[in-house]
Structure 1
Amino acid sequence: MTSLAAFVLASLVLVAVPGPNLIYIITCSVQYGRRAGIVSALGVETGTLLHVIAAVCGLATLVADHPLVFAFLRCAGAGYLACLGVRALLRHPPSAVGAAEAVGRAARRRLLRLYRDAVLVNLLNPKVVLFFLAFLPQFLPTGLSPGDARTRMLVLGAVFLTIGLVLDLCYALVGSALTSRLRGTLRRDRFLSCLTGGIYLGLAALVFV
């Protein structure tokens, strides 16, 4: 098996493992529909792109080598997930008036918020920083110059991002397919908000595990 084929296989396995990114995409799709799921997938992979750039530029190594910076990133990530959880718990199910508003300006604001949250959920995950720090270099040939190593890491990062985007879009479509079954009544919407909030709060606690 070639190095690239091994990298693709390993990437498929790693992206498919459930985590905050996957859960965020599916919950957005279930709560708000296909468009929200697609936007959240694009936000997550924007975060992945920034992680790749950070790894290539050596910023990931800087974070990993400074415990205080890593601890800050860890706390910030857990805090942001907790904020998402509380916001979901306090969210009011949409009324008929709210549904009409969502067609216009309110819907666009929500999509922008979902995109921003997806980027931050990915960026503030310290385990992703360590993942790129430990994962990408394993597939670099020995004896590369620093410039060639950075170029190779960018190529591998682009492959990983493409795989992640394809799988994330699949998760978004699967989540949106559940929308008609899980949404539609105030009681179901309220249950879904509570479930989503509980999941985010649980993920916030798992950051420290």
Structure 2
Amino acid sequence: MIPFHDLFFFALAALVLVISPGPNMIYLISRSLTQGKKAGLTSLAGVVCGFLFHIVMVSFGLTAVLFAVPYAYIVLKTLGTIYLLYLAYQAIKPNSKNIFEGDQNISIDRPRKLFAVGFFTNVLNPKVAVFYLSFFPQFIKPEYGSIFTQSLELGITQVFISFTVNFIIVLTAAKIALFFAKNPVWIKIQKWFMASVLVFLAVKMAISKAK
């Protein structure tokens, strides 16, 4: 079992990452704004199932890679650092679009398609796999027990946080969009705050020592 203090820090990191805009969040918000809360929740169910798929795959993969390749940790740490810095740049890049701006040209889809698109948007997103493969090893230690079990523990924690945050976003997407429309300065504050936290996580990951 992973100690509480390590799991707590991972939870904070997962929280920061889930509130940074990405394909999943953009899809959920767009569906919530154009088709309503029910469509957003159906899409969220597909996204969560996509996370579960990645968790199982990565849990088996980490167990094999970390034991088989001596320098795997260094490679994964480097990928994780680059990934976090990339997210930081995406948060503040010039002319980036406000994700709460609804696109009225989106077609109206049935529940089955909403679920399927949410699932495949997550499963086919290489960034999700990179996140799991590069970020999880920073919190896994052989002395804590089975690497597979620890991977599942981190995965379940991440999915719970992702589901909770996205669930709130789906239910409040319209109100949040209206708030940002009336207070555009908060968009810039949110972007720079997000970028600062992501850079901090990248630096922490870069200087972390191998297990």
TM-score, with length taken from structure 1: 0.58
Q: Identify which of 59, 67, 80 aligns with 2:65.
A: 59
- 2:140/2:151 contact within 8 Å kept: no
Q: Which residue of 1 aligns with 2:180?
A: 183
- 2:77/2:134 contact within 8 Å kept: yes
CA, structure 1 residues 160+70, in 2 after alignment: closer, same or farther (shift >3 Å)? closer
> CA offset at residue 72 of structure 1?
2.2
Distance 1:59 1:93 in 2: 37
For structure 1, which segment, 42-51 or 84-93, has the greater mean C-alpha deviation from structure 2 after superposition? 42-51
Distance 2:4 2:171 in 1: 23
| Runs of 4+ with >6 A deviation | none
Q: Which residue of 1 aligns with 2:112?
A: none
Q: Specify the code of the residue in structure 2 equivalent to 1:131.
A: I
Q: CA RMSD in A?
A: 4.4
Considering fraction of residues, name the structure with more helix: 1
Q: Specify the code of the residue in structure 2 equivalent to 1:90.
A: K
Bigger Rg, structure 1 or 2: 1
* Aligned ranges 1:32-71 → 2 under 5 Å: 32=25, 35=28, 38=44, 45-56=52-63, 58-63=64-69, 66-67=70-71, 69-71=72-74
The size of the alignment, in residue pairs, is 175
Matched, 1:80 2:83: yes
Q: Which residue of 1 aligns with 2:128?
A: 118
Q: Identify which of 201, 204, 209 aligns with 1:203.
A: 201
- Match of 1:204, SS? helix
Matched, 1:171 2:195: no
Distance 1:134 1:23 in 2: 27
- Match of 2:103, SS? helix
Which ranges of structure 1 fall in alignment gaps of 5 or more residues?
1-6, 139-152
CA, structure 1 residues 118+15, in 2 after alignment: closer, same or farther (shift >3 Å)? farther
Q: Specify the code of the residue in structure 2 equivalent to 1:23.
A: V
Q: Specify the code of the residue in structure 1 equivalent to 2:133.
A: L
TM-score, with length taken from structure 2: 0.58
CA, structure 1 residues 79+131, in 2 after alignment: closer, same or farther (shift >3 Å)? same
> How much identity, in percent, do the aligned residues show?
8
Q: Which residue of 1 aligns with 2:16?
A: 23
Deviation readout 1:67-120 (Å, 9 max, x if unpaired): 3x3222211210111111112110535379x6426736xxx89x9489543332
Distance 2:160 2:4 in 1: 10
Q: Which residue of 2 aligns with 1:142?
A: none
> CA offset at residue 62 of structure 1?
2.3
- Match of 2:106, SS? coil
Which ranges of structure 2 fall in alignment gaps of 5 or more residues?
30-42, 108-116
Distance 2:151 2:78 in 1: 26
